[in-house]
Structure 1
Amino acid sequence: MVSFAELTQMNLSPEILAELQKYATPTGVADYAALAIIAGVSAGYLSRGTLWDKPDPHYHLYFERPQLKNGGQAGLNSNKETRNIAKKLEDTGKNIVVFWGSQSGTAEGFANRLAREISIRWGQECMSADLSDYDPVTISEIPNSKLAIFIVSTYGEGDPADNTAEFWSWITKTGDVSLANLQYTAFGLGNSNYKFYNKVVDVIVEGLEKFGAKALMPLGKANDAEGATEEDFMAWKDSLFTVFKDKLGFTEVEAQYVPSLKVEEDESLEPIDLHHGEPNSQVDASKGAAQSSPIRSLSIVNSRELFTSSDRNCLHMDVDLSNQPELTYKTGDHLAIWPTNPDSEVERLLELLGLASRRDVPVFIRPVDAATKITLPTPTSAIALLRYYLEICAPVNRDNVRDLAQFAPTPEAKTYLTHLGQDKDFYAEFINRTHLTLDRLLQLACPGHTWTKIPLSYLVETLPHIRPRYYSISSSSVVSPRKPSITAIVSTTPLPENPSELVHGITSNYLLAISQQAHSQPHPHGVSYHLNGPSDALAGGKVFAHIRRSKFKLPITAKTPLIMVGAGTGLAPFRAFLSERCQVQKIGKEVGQMILFFGCRNPEEDFIYRDELQEMQETLGDKLRLVAAFSRYEDTPRQYVQDRVSEFGEEVVKLIDEGASFYICGRAGMAREVEKAVSGTMQKTKGWTEDEVNNWSKAVKKKNKWQEDVWG
């Protein structure tokens, strides 16, 4: 309310002031009553929280989650961790750090194993460290009394893992840093089927050397193309330990398991407090936030078999995003599926560990050491760990075979495991006869006994954690924006020396079980899964999944010619590309010339999407040429896509000269052979030297005119 005195200060005319005064001055009982009410309400409002409506000091208890007390996951992360690795080493009393850069989890697993073994066998204070958790520049502050070990993977076209990107950018772009105090050694994981084999570790070592870091031993490398990654790592590790003994003067001690974390039962917790198997989206959030969507439970609304073969399966699945408006995809992206371990493996392992009757008892996972990072959801339960969080179907490596001997229930089992873990040739021969999962190993080593001495903490520390499997999306976001599809071949591999024993790929057989259930049929090999998921979150044919952005994209201009080469399920993204080009042409826009090279065994069994491709051919007319290669068809000579690329070399070169974008999807070995075929044709057609071809290859890749989406 404005007083008359305040009105007189507004430079109003006398006439207006006189009129306003009539309304500004109370004239009756009603006006005074209104003023009293307004004054009372104002006073009451101003006294809120002091005279009335005082806050309840226990109000927060309504929202407090008991699992965050006494070591719960959020409680562990409540204090912000330092991003200075030198300070972290100093604060935790560590003198060795094993950095890891990992895309699929292998390098991470190696780093954790190495850090654990250094601590146990050599009595050294050691920690493993995610490269993305620390500011790269702080590596320069590590004193020469400490040691840094780098274990990093290379994937794709010489790309670093997501969690290596920040360090990679720093080591390749910084120019004003000294690493003269840094002692280091490094090990790289790669695949010689890729052109840029182990490029990441090579570049990192080059950068470290340039800034003055001192290598304790030669660089080590693993080659997955030869299936030797595990043995390559162990050979390098043995060389490292020789350096520990001979150069650093470390003393080896008797190796006994010393846990870096505790897994303790707590029956006071209720089921609502637990993580029952939902994927832990927080662990990798900082690394892949820009590349990946949130993890959600998504419905599979349509699944069908693409093969006509009775002994092989290939699935087409449509996934529904309708109830997840924040999830979107673009043509060429990937869909990540989070798998579940099969029931038989889970139940057998629970029995062998003596945990069957306590499978649902709540457990907390807590670090023993401040440097240990908990990467699994906690609190949880034994059944959730074995079903959803740990790779219990992965082969047991020799290190773990040897370590398991200390928990053996009989002297005979201890002797057997020690021999198997120490004898490289015996181990290699053994795994050719059986798929050496943990439960099978325990059964073979000591039939009829339970292994109650194995701590659950040991399994959490040593078994790989379940990771998502990535599938190229085989639909166009223009044609089917809310229902991306994937194309998944089901992996069922007979053992070389025992063909009757089948090794079932975890994720593809999980998807097959979902598909079979939708058609009211059992899995063809009797493999079963807990398809309803944790807390029935996946009931009705759902999967936990997320979308990962990809660089494997169509050109912006639809007029750009395309050359596409795919074998098997490598056809998936090209189905999406062609579907989108068909749609563009239907709305009256011009599309460029296209040629698709596709390879499979024979046209009668595994020529996937054949009818659809023929329809697209009719729609696009002479804008599309389909060229097939069959490797096992009747009595005809074997042909592979690279052979057909060479056969149509002149047309390929012509499209390249017209500005075509070149795409390859499939196995890395195939991609390498296709590139050789194109390079050979370019040399022959243009009369180029090998150097000229190499320069051309580098140029087109730099311009994203040559793209690959390859694996293995």
Structure 2
Amino acid sequence: MDASFITREAMSNIAVLGKPTSPLDIAALAAVGVSSAAYLLRGIAWDKPDPYRHLFFERPQLKDGFQSERVQATRNIAEALEQQGKNCVIFWGSQSGTAEGIAYRLARECHIRYGLEVIAADLSDYDPETIALIPESKLAIFVLSTFGEGDPSDNTAGFWEWLHKNASKLSLPNLHYAAFGLGNSNYKYYNRVVDVVAEALEKGGAKRLLPVGRADDSTGGTEEDYLAWKDDLFTTFREKLGYEERDNPYTPTLTIREDPSLEPIDLHSGVPIEQHASNKKKVAKTSPIKPLEISSAEYLYSSTKRNCLHMEVELGSYAELRYKTGDHLVIYPMAPDEEIQILLRALGLEDKASTPLLISAIESGSAHTLPSPTSAEALFRYYLEISAPVSRDAVRDLAQFAPTPVAKDLLAALGRDKTAYSEFVGATHVTIGRLLAAAAPGAIWADLPLSYILETVPLLQPRYYSISSSSVVSPRRLAITVGVEDAPLAHNPQVAIPGLTTSYLAAVAGSLTPSPSQPAYALAGPDGALQGHRVFAAIRRSKFKLPAFASTPIVMVAAGTGIAPFRAFVQERARLRAVGKEVGRMVLFFGCRRAGEDFPYRGELDEARVAVGGDKFEVVPAYSREEGQPKRYVQDRIAERAKDVCELLDNDATLYICGRAAMAREVAKVLEEAMMGQHGWDAAQVTEWKNSVKRGNKWLEDVWG
């Protein structure tokens, strides 16, 4: 009840008694008045929370931790450039970390090769209107990713909104810029973000230095696309801007100092660091990271090369962790023991793997996003993506540190020749450690600074898994569905590269249930934090939600592990039906290879069909490898059922697609053709319909790759 109401009631009750007539009456009245005032002023005049109380619980070393957590002096990028003596800013908008990594690499190379003083800047760290204040003498470079249906990354949202709100009145006559986009041509709106940004900047009078670069990740071409654009950028530097290329040796941006006096408790030993504090939208979407227990794991199917895990995760006593049906579980993986040992051995750090290291940026704007103090082992296991392929750029640069002439010649040749590099990568599992070991077998790379490894190897990124359970049915225990499949090398199919996070989860599952052999991991985690089958994880909100009304019909399309959120949807509708709620019709189009081999949750879906009523739920399978039958994919089955699907969509059904982007693109084509045939629409009309249902959240996709 409202405190002011209580006070008024008390005063009213006192008034009924009349005026105080004795010292005891006066004392009682005073006591009531004082207590009422004290209650109302709690937290204002007394019992105020100490704003610095949290400092008692912080480790002293956190003041030297992530650079992104430090207080930012200004949100005006023009002021920042002036204050720091910089003449170029590289803005990055990144969802998975790739664009961020490219921005920092480019910043370092611009400085080393052309003497530019560069800030690599998170777009959310600066007010977008201050971009107009960047003087003509300075450069701006945009490295922007596109994901989903042409969406900007979370940290680009503020800049994106500003561009659209001010599209007709942008004035950027002094801005000289270049732009590079990261996208995937499997998506309809390939590289839409960089295209929209470039168009808006041009309309505002900005001057583009060279054509917009675009990377296509549909065939793994992002790195080569970036290198080609970077060569054009540097040609522009030399020929149009008059910058002189310098032949400088490697110049570190980090200092790394051993400090054996530090105790293990002082170190960042592997606990994940929370996301950028400045990135408010991203932080708001993701819960705190916690060590969550995997209480059970079960193989839904298993073949010689492909497995599928159903894992159940306990939210336990973490009251702040709550999920809703359709959300994602964010998993923070670790590198396998073998990769760590190979790299430590090549660098001659096996005896110093646990030595405390202090890491600091030589100057602001450098790529220091690593924790300090820490150790080489913790960096390699928890913070760097040492299991990722090495870029051709990095291979070329490594030649200068080679311990033997043969290694130097090999790396220089691979770095120069795109074809030779492609063939080498296609035949060899090329991680940073394996590359060093293969180029100079048995040798120690004594001249290779650890700072180069930290600057070059990308940060280890979390992975996202659709939650395959309903929060209505199981609010404190969630499930994920994990496909475990090694990727064979293009030119050496006998060698397969294990997926980093899927293999890690399979190893955790192996301690719970018999499983195929997987790489070895330090499953106990840093300081034993993951003992008891735990993983570092968080919950990320999603827009992939069931309709508000259970009576709304839904059409679901999935292939492989894309079935995960639909298991949750069906679970929830079955529970609602069990308590007497009316549920709308559900049709699930699901694609896999064979009915008896890789159809997860088939028994559960059959039970759900009975529970909700046979006329309410139907599964339409598509088998691409069924013996004696032609290949059929989900888009083929939708085409066969076009009239029924169109009628459902016309009757307010919500459409959901989950799986690979290529599948989603083919499904969209079939649906557009079906609606054109059903209604006699032309291309413009079907496009307007599609855009309309997407704006109304009646067409939702959760796709990848």
TM-score where L is the length of structure 2: 0.90
Corresponding residue to 2:246 among 242, 253, 258: 253
Match of 1:436 in 2: 430
Q: Tell whether 2:468 aligns with 1:474.
A: yes
Match of 1:407 in 2: 401
Aligned residue-pair number:
658
Corresponding residue to 2:76 among 62, 84, 92: 84
What one-letter code is carried by the residue in structure 1 that aligns with 2:581? K
**Alignment partner of 1:490: what SS?**
strand
Match of 1:424 in 2: 418
Separation in structure 1 between the aligned mates of residue 304 and residue 68 of structure 2, nearest angstrom: 52
Q: Cα gap change, 1:485/1:503 in structure 2, threshold over 3 Å: closer, same or farther? A: same
Runs of 4+ aligned structure 1 residues displaced above 4 Å come to 60-66, 74-79
What one-letter code is carried by the residue in structure 1 that aligns with 2:348? G
Separation in structure 1 between the aligned mates of residue 69 and residue 576 of structure 2, nearest angstrom: 50
Match of 1:142 in 2: 134
Separation in structure 1 between the aligned mates of residue 495 and residue 569 of structure 2, nearest angstrom: 39
Pairing 1:157-176 to 2, within 5 Å after superposition: 157-174=149-166, 175-176=168-169
What one-letter code is carried by the residue in structure 1 that aligns with 2:521? Y
Match of 1:388 in 2: 382
Separation in structure 2 between the aligned mates of residue 441 and residue 181 of structure 1, nearest angstrom: 45
Q: Tell whether 2:365 aligns with 1:371.
A: yes
Give the C-alpha shift of residue 524 in structure 1: 2.7
Corresponding residue to 2:677 among 684, 698, 711: 684
Separation in structure 1 between the aligned mates of residue 453 and residue 574 of structure 2, nearest angstrom: 51
Give the C-alpha shift of residue 625 in structure 1: 1.3
Deviation by residue 1:634-659 (Cα, 9 ceiling, x = unmatched): 12100000000000001001101111
Separation in structure 2 between the aligned mates of residue 79 and residue 525 of structure 1, nearest angstrom: 46
Match of 1:485 in 2: 479
Corresponding residue to 2:338 among 336, 344, 347: 344
Corresponding residue to 1:708 among 695, 701, 704: 701
Q: Tell whether 2:503 aligns with 1:509.
A: yes
Pairing 1:51-200 to 2, within 5 Å after superposition: 65-67=59-61, 72-73=64-65, 79-174=71-166, 175-200=168-193
Q: Cα gap change, 1:525/1:494 in structure 2, threshold over 3 Å: closer, same or farther? A: farther
Structure 1: stretches of 5+ with no match in the other structure: 1-14, 25-59
What one-letter code is carried by the residue in structure 1 that aligns with 2:127? D
Separation in structure 1 between the aligned mates of residue 139 and residue 604 of structure 2, nearest angstrom: 58
Q: Cα gap change, 1:315/1:181 in structure 2, threshold over 3 Å: closer, same or farther? A: same
Give the C-alpha shift of residue 451 in structure 1: 0.8
What one-letter code is carried by the residue in structure 2 that aligns with 1:127? I
Separation in structure 2 between the aligned mates of residue 191 and residue 61 of structure 1, nearest angstrom: 44
Give the C-alpha shift of residue 68 in structure 1: 5.1
Give the C-alpha shift of residue 541 in structure 1: 0.2
Match of 1:589 in 2: 581
Match of 1:27 in 2: none
Q: Tell whether 2:565 aligns with 1:573.
A: yes
Match of 1:607 in 2: 599
Match of 2:293 in 1: 299
Corresponding residue to 1:673 among 663, 666, 673: 666
Give the C-alpha shift of residue 287 in structure 1: 4.7
Separation in structure 2 between the aligned mates of residue 311 and residue 458 of structure 1, nearest angstrom: 36
Separation in structure 1 between the aligned mates of residue 602 and residue 90 of structure 2, nearest angstrom: 50
Q: Tell whether 2:652 aligns with 1:644.
A: no
Q: Is the 8 A contact 1:67 1:269 kept in 2?
A: no
Corresponding residue to 1:552 among 529, 544, 548: 544
Q: Cα gap change, 1:601/1:61 in structure 2, threshold over 3 Å: closer, same or farther? A: closer
Structure 2: stretches of 5+ with no match in the other structure: 1-18, 28-53
**Alignment partner of 2:546: what SS?**
coil
Q: Cα gap change, 1:64/1:693 in structure 2, threshold over 3 Å: closer, same or farther? A: closer
Deviation by residue 1:145-167 (Cα, 9 ceiling, x = unmatched): 00000010000011101111111
Q: Tell whether 2:553 aligns with 1:561.
A: yes
Corresponding residue to 1:274 among 267, 282, 289: 267
Q: Cα gap change, 1:619/1:126 in structure 2, threshold over 3 Å: closer, same or farther? A: same
Corresponding residue to 1:532 among 495, 513, 524: 524
What one-letter code is carried by the residue in structure 2 that aligns with 1:471? Y
Separation in structure 2 between the aligned mates of residue 155 and residue 99 of structure 1, nearest angstrom: 17
TM-score where L is the length of structure 1: 0.90
Match of 1:42 in 2: none
Q: Tell whether 2:318 aligns with 1:324.
A: yes
Give the C-alpha shift of residue 75 in structure 1: 9.2
**Alignment partner of 2:539: what SS?**
strand
Q: Cα gap change, 1:440/1:534 in structure 2, threshold over 3 Å: closer, same or farther? A: same
Pairing 1:223-238 to 2, within 5 Å after superposition: 223-238=216-231
Q: Percent identity?
A: 56
Q: Is the 8 A contact 1:280 1:376 kept in 2?
A: no
Q: Is the 8 A contact 2:170 2:203 kept in 1?
A: no
Separation in structure 2 between the aligned mates of residue 615 and residue 509 of structure 1, nearest angstrom: 31
* Greater C-alpha Rg: 1
Give the C-alpha shift of residue 76 in structure 1: 8.9
Match of 1:29 in 2: none
Q: Tell whether 2:626 aligns with 1:626.
A: no
Separation in structure 1 between the aligned mates of residue 306 and residue 453 of structure 2, nearest angstrom: 34
Deviation by residue 1:271-305 (Cα, 9 ceiling, x = unmatched): 11111000011436635122110110000011100
Match of 1:50 in 2: none
Separation in structure 1 between the aligned mates of residue 338 and residue 274 of structure 2, nearest angstrom: 27
Pairing 1:452-463 to 2, within 5 Å after superposition: 452-463=446-457
Point out the more displaced range, 79-88 or 472-481: 79-88
Q: Is the 8 A contact 1:188 1:201 kept in 2?
A: yes
Separation in structure 2 between the aligned mates of residue 299 and residue 122 of structure 1, nearest angstrom: 50
Q: Is the 8 A contact 2:305 2:486 kept in 1?
A: no
Give the C-alpha shift of residue 435 in structure 1: 1.9
Q: Is the 8 A contact 1:68 1:75 kept in 2?
A: no
Separation in structure 1 between the aligned mates of residue 565 and residue 556 of structure 2, nearest angstrom: 10
Separation in structure 2 between the aligned mates of residue 75 and residue 395 of structure 1, nearest angstrom: 26
**Alignment partner of 2:284: what SS?**
coil
